[in-house]
Amino acid sequence: MKLNSQRKVSHRGEGGGGLGRALREQKARLYIIRRCVVMLLCWHD
């Protein structure tokens, strides 16, 4: 559900050009890091 709202924001940012792309890349990186942390925590248990 939260992903839909984030996609709308990224679409608005795309109009800015390179800035929107960099923002999208940062969000993707953050998402991947979050997933890795969750997996590591699950493995730790």
What pLDDT does residue 3 have? 52
Query: How many separate domains does the chain show?
Result: 1
d(CA 34, CA 31): 5
Q: Count of CB atoms within 10 A of residue 21's CB?
A: 13
Q: Are 10 and 27 in contact, with CB atoms under 8 Å apart?
A: yes
What pLDDT does residue 45 have? 56
Confidence of residue 30 (pLDDT cuts 50, 70, 90): very high
The whole domain housing 11 covers 2-44
